[in-house]
Structure 1
């Protein structure tokens, strides 16, 4: 039964483009995307020899120094600053990367970055609008903002209907799911950024918006 439901949901995303013409144009949102196989290598290439600000650097609550992204990026970047509201986590991360850390946007005044990386963070925040308004104050040449893709085949297959319940496999601290359109839409609606490119990372499990100041 579970597999049958999963196949039905996945097949809805295999429709030919002309089938969407059955819907009024108001409802049809098209987003051009590029696919990236390995998101870690993608992030490392972005950071290489650059001055980087990394938001959500702690990887709470599953911190592991062997695969922590901030530690990996520190080996590629010219300089790297971390940003996280988890102050205890920051103190721990300092043992591995001894550079500047911040927990409030106003602490970043005067700092200039080549890259601002915001990976898998926006789905955790309490107020997306306030978060994106804060992101707008950062002086960076380019921004990369990512979130899990709600329409990824992997994510769809592992969620299903039980007996009078919906079984969802998701991080318990997530407040929402994003799609290529909704992530792009919120960034451009609530910040002073414009989205220049949209990537699907690790196949299609993550959406990544590359953005710059308007």
Structure 2
């Protein structure tokens, strides 16, 4: 199986190299005017889970959408739920979710009561805002919202200057999306409203209210799974976009 996988990746690398060369004319001349540079340097591709755990290590973390419903029971049971893994590395952890059933399932299985029922499209509870998180983990949430801009407005108005927001969202140029499009179909979770690009994500977390500190790409791999050479060469085709923004407010706001 490993040999077969390596062969597929070699073929993928060759195909990507040929596609890059053959389509270069599409981003030259008049079309070059539409190109947008990513607003940060040192972009790379990481294992999404490992990146999140590293960035949240020894921090006070508010985890939005922590239950991963409808997979709450399955992932809590086998230990793969991100929230369970975060408990091992964070200084303090509070989970928010808008699904009452998922909260009850999680609480019954773990005994963890550091969780809150919250609709981030309406408001954050006093318990959430006075928690004063160092990091707000907003991972794989925005694409599920019919109005993500409203959620970002409320988040910005609810938390203090300097609070970091770690966001991950599906990448519009992911290899799976490319493969689907070439086969005249689309690979997407049925509950998603959006894909994102680096440009559109930074428009959502605009530079008047947020400072973009990091932007990378990630793979939906299991923890400690290494990124292969093909993806390291073509990071913009990773599964997701991962960014760290910090809330920026004027003095006294």
Fold equivalence (TM over 0.5): yes
Does 2:36 correspond to 1:23?
no
User: What SS class does the counterpart of residue 37 from structure 1 fall into?
Assistant: strand
> Higher Cα Rg: structure 1 or 2?
2
Q: CA deviation at 1:37?
A: 2.6
**Cα distance in 1, alignment partners of residues 172 and 65 from structure 2:** 20
Does 2:144 correspond to 1:124?
yes
CA contact (8 A) 1:51 1:115 kept: yes
Does 2:152 correspond to 1:138?
no
Deviations 1:88-134 (A, max 9, x none): 11122223233132414330232301111111110001211111112
Identify the structure with the greater strand proportion: 1
184, 191, 196: which is aligned to 2:213? 196
The equivalent residue for 2:228 is none
User: What SS class does the counterpart of residue 106 from structure 1 fall into?
Assistant: coil
Q: TM-score, normalising length from structure 1? A: 0.82
**Cα distance in 1, alignment partners of residues 155 and 49 from structure 2:** 22
Q: Give unpaired runs (5+ residues) of structure 1.
A: 1-6
The equivalent residue for 1:154 is 176
Does 2:103 correspond to 1:103?
no
User: What SS class does the counterpart of residue 89 from structure 2 fall into?
Assistant: coil
The equivalent residue for 1:76 is 89
The equivalent residue for 1:4 is none
88, 93, 99: which is aligned to 1:86? 99
| TM-aligned CA distance change 1:45 to 1:177, over 3 Å | same
User: What SS class does the counterpart of residue 29 from structure 1 fall into?
Assistant: coil
CA contact (8 A) 2:103 2:115 kept: no
**Cα distance in 1, alignment partners of residues 53 and 145 from structure 2:** 24
Q: CA deviation at 1:155?
A: 2.4
The equivalent residue for 2:8 is none
Q: TM-score, normalising length from structure 2? A: 0.71
The equivalent residue for 1:176 is 194
CA contact (8 A) 1:145 1:210 kept: yes
| TM-aligned CA distance change 1:24 to 1:120, over 3 Å | same
The equivalent residue for 2:56 is 47
| TM-aligned CA distance change 1:111 to 1:172, over 3 Å | same
The equivalent residue for 2:245 is 211
User: What SS class does the counterpart of residue 67 from structure 2 fall into?
Assistant: coil
Coordinate RMSD, CA, aligned: 2.7
Deviations 1:10-40 (A, max 9, x none): 9259856x97342356522111462233111
